[in-house]
Amino acid sequence: MSDQLIYATEVILNGLMAGVLYALVALGFVLIYKASGIFNYAQGVMALFAAMTLVGIMNGQVPFAHLINATFGVHVTHFGWTIPALLAILLTMGVMILLAWAVQQFVMRHLVGQEPIILFMATIGLAYFLEGVADLMWGSEIKTLDVGLPQGLNVWIDDTTYGIFGYGFFIDNLDIVATVIAALLVAALVAFSQYTKQGRAMRAVADDHQAALSVGISLNFIWVLVWSVAGFVALVAGIMWGTKSGVQFSLSLIALKALPVLMLGGFTSIPGAIVGGLIIGVGEKLFEFAVGPLVGGATENWFAYVLALIFLVFRPQGLFGEKIIERV
């Protein structure tokens, strides 16, 4: 096996792992879009908010410490204790459920039956609001997140690499864990969406708000449920990305990388989000490997969007999306 082929195989494997992380973010978009027909621009900020809240809870940080200190002339930063990672994750999930209730109570409840563009603009406002609240609550400095997930390069044959058929491949442990978690998460979400009463109610709400109300489906409950599930997905994505690159405000920009994933996989397909993420992950790594040196590199910054543009021209519903025909 030539060195080029070995390196290309390593690039593909790492692309698959990166694609899983993209897909984790895209899943949150799909869930909310399937349940309400809303493209949730705030999904990336929800991942940031969840990760910052998790770090703050684990470290015993006082929420809104900067605001409290400036208002009352005191100096408080921490409660003086630390909380185990598992308990902190559960508490953070409680915060995300509370956030879901607040979004439904103060935003979505007042927009039933509105045009999709109105709902989309509401999520843009929500994104900037959440980003500001996260800054006030936990501060803007870069934070380290460690919940006990394995990190670094795994060891199989020697001290640095995985070995496959006698050849070494560099694969990050965190990427392997993310792949397993994403697979379990997708299986659970597909089962929930297809085989539970609540999942079918979510699809009914997405088709027609008013019709769903007329058959006794509670929009309040469904929207709290779907935003809670999306919050859980955002928490998982925030943990993975925050562990990998630190918890910082640029974490919210991962939503931009999820857009091409959605365009490829389809806005209404949970498996499509995974397939789209894998295509984007492998595609951008291989393109950088094969074409990057010829054009000066940095092709990973734009490859996904060019591929998404091609899909929009020839298959706008994506690989797994539903082709909707409207009669007027």
Quote the pLDDT of residue 324. Answer: 58
- Residue 233 is encoded by which pair of tokens? 């997905």
Residue 34 C-alpha from the chain's centroid: 15
- Amino acid symbol at 183: A
| C-alpha span between 4 and 271 (Å, rounded) | 32
Q: Which domain holds residue 53?
A: 3-257
Looking at residue 93, its pLDDT comes to 95
282: in domain: no
State the total domains in the chain. Answer: 1
99 within domain boundaries: yes
Asked whether residue 316 is domain-assigned, the answer is no
- Quote the pLDDT of residue 146: 86
Amino acid at 13: L
User: Whole-angstrom Cα distance, residue 12 to residue 286?
Assistant: 7
What pLDDT is stored for residue 178 in this prediction?
A: 80
Q: Strand (E) positions, the chain?
A: 162-164, 167-169
**pLDDT digit string (tens) for the chain, length 328 residues:** 566 777 777 788 888 888 888 888 888 888 888 777 788 888 889 999 999 999 999 999 999 988 888 888 888 888 888 899 999 999 999 999 999 999 988 988 888 778 888 888 999 999 999 999 998 999 888 888 888 887 765 544 444 444 444 455 667 778 788 888 877 887 888 788 778 888 888 777 777 767 777 888 887 888 888 889 889 989 998 898 888 888 888 888 877 888 899 888 888 888 888 888 889 989 988 888 888 888 777 788 888 899 989 988 888 888 876 665 555 4
Q: Is residue 148 part of a domain?
A: yes
Task: Say if 150 falls within a structural domain.
Answer: yes
Distance CA 131, CA 210 (A): 32
Q: Residue 305 falls within a domain, yes or no?
A: no
Query: What is the pTM assigned to this prediction?
Result: 0.85
Which residues have CB under 8 Å from 217's CB, separation 6+? 201, 204, 205
Residues paired with 163 in a beta bridge = 168
Rounded CA separation 244/59 (Å): 18
Amino acid at 15: G
Q: For residue 235, what are the CA distances in angstroms to 208, 260, 281?
A: 29, 21, 21
Q: What is the DSSP string of 5-20?
A: HHHHHHHHHHHHHHHH
Residue 206 in domain: yes
Contact (CB, 8 A) for 250 and 243:
no
Other Cβ atoms less than 10 A from the Cβ of 295: the count is 10
pLDDT of residue 152: 65
Helical pair 197-207 and 173-195, crossing angle rounded to 10 deg = 80
pLDDT confidence of residue 2: 60
Structure tokens at 231: 């919050």
Task: Count Cα neighbours of 261 within 13 Å in the Cβ-side half-sphere.
Answer: 31
Give yes or no for a contact between 171 and 162, defined as CB atoms under 8 angstroms apart: yes
Please name every residue paired with 168 in a beta bridge, in sequence order, or none if there are none: 163
* Partners of residue 212 on adjacent β-strands: none
- Residue 64 buriedness (CB in 10 A; 0-12 / 13-18 / 19+): middle
Residue 20 domain flag: yes
Integer distance in angstroms from the first to the last C-alpha of the chain?
60
